[in-house]
Structure 1
Amino acid sequence: MTTVGSHPGGGYPRGVATLSAVTRPHLLTAIAEYDDRGKDAFIGVYGLQPSTTESLVHEGRSYDAAAVVGVAHRYATGRVAMSDELGKQADGVEALLRKHGFEVKDGASRPGAGAKAPARRAAARPAAARAPRPAPRAAAEERPPAICPTCFTQLPGTGVCDNCA
């Protein structure tokens, strides 16, 4: 399997993350996953580095802005945008979040911002809310309509042809 950036002609080269594909629904999905997992597990499962520069504030809770955007990038493109890729874009994370209506705060003066609030919310939610959603059921196969053998019209629910009976 080829990793991103190792194939000379394919994929995005390592170090470039295009954020134009990331939408508000992608960001909200990443926030929901952050809530479900908690900060440490969310950052750890994707191999991200905790950020101390910016915090995303949503519904009164603080989140690691770069981690949320990196995972939202995964929902948009299929590939997690790592912190070093996001840092190469001038105000890319902050601009993207503000563009989609989120509040962004400078977290440098508040170390550990976002570490506790999401974990409390995830623990307070009922287990049913944290359970994965079931896969959508396939539509029931439709039967062809019953046809009158004499006049070839569709039979009503009674099964008796109105024209031939």
Structure 2
Amino acid sequence: MSLLNSIDRPHVLTAIETWDKAGGSNYMLVRGGVSTHVLLHAGREYDAAAIVGIAHGLATGNTLTPAEVPGGSAGASKALTRLGFQIRDDSPPAPQRVPGTKATTPRMPRAAAAPRATPRPRVAASDRIVDNLCPRCFIAMPATGICDQCD
């Protein structure tokens, strides 16, 4: 069961009212994130992921930031479409691939190699052995030569 299945249409409508009361952009400044999917309702545009996050809070008591919405803005778009809302996808188009050619991505120029840090010397376990142990309790003896535990 998806995390967003708990959201119903009334939750979304109440979330839209909450968005309008909060001023929308002010809400996004507080909660963070920007969606590439836009909810279209009553002639207005809303950030789909933010509305789903608010609606999830109304349904479960746990409001989600747009970054926490499962599937991101695409997941929010799916949930809203399932509930009968209209969505506009503002995602940038995927690069077109010509058949018979390899898909390549533009490469950034290589930066000069950063100097490597000097590795830390390894300390052998035998270097950590304490020579002066109490013969009774086998705890390391202090510089005084008198065991704090036994004497």
TM-score range, shorter chain: 0.5 to 0.7
Counterpart for residue 54 of structure 1: 37
Deviation at 1:69, TM superposition (A): 0.3
Runs of 4+ in structure 1 off by over 3 angstroms are: 87-91
User: 2:3 and 2:50 mapped to 1: Cα distance?
Assistant: 15
The sequence identity of aligned pairs, in percent, is 38
Which protein has the larger Cα radius of gyration, Structure 1 or Structure 2?
Answer: 2
> What value does the CA root-mean-square deviation take over the aligned residues?
2.1
**Residues 99-149 of structure 1 deviation map (CA, whole Å, 9 limit, x = unaligned):** 11100001246xxxxxxxxxxxxxxxxxxxxxxxxxxxxxxxxxxxxxxxx
Three-state SS of the structure 1 residue aligned to 2:38 is strand
TM-score by length of 1: 0.50
User: 1:90 and 1:63 mapped to 2: Cα distance?
Assistant: 12
Question: What is the total number of aligned residue pairs between the two structures?
Answer: 91
Deviation at 1:81, TM superposition (A): 1.6
**1:33 and 1:42 in contact (8 A); partners too:** no
Query: Looking at both structures, which has the greater relative contact order when contacts are Cα pairs under 8 Å and sequence separation is at least 6?
Result: 1
Counterpart for residue 40 of structure 1: 25
Map 1:21-32; keep pairs closer than 5 Å: 21-32=6-17
Deviation at 1:59, TM superposition (A): 0.8
Please list every run of 5 or more consecutive structure 2 residues that lacks an aligned counterpart in the other structure: 93-151
TM-score by length of 2: 0.54
1:75 to 52, 55, 58: 58
Deviation at 1:89, TM superposition (A): 6.1
Counterpart for residue 97 of structure 1: 80
User: 1:72 and 1:56 mapped to 2: Cα distance?
Assistant: 13
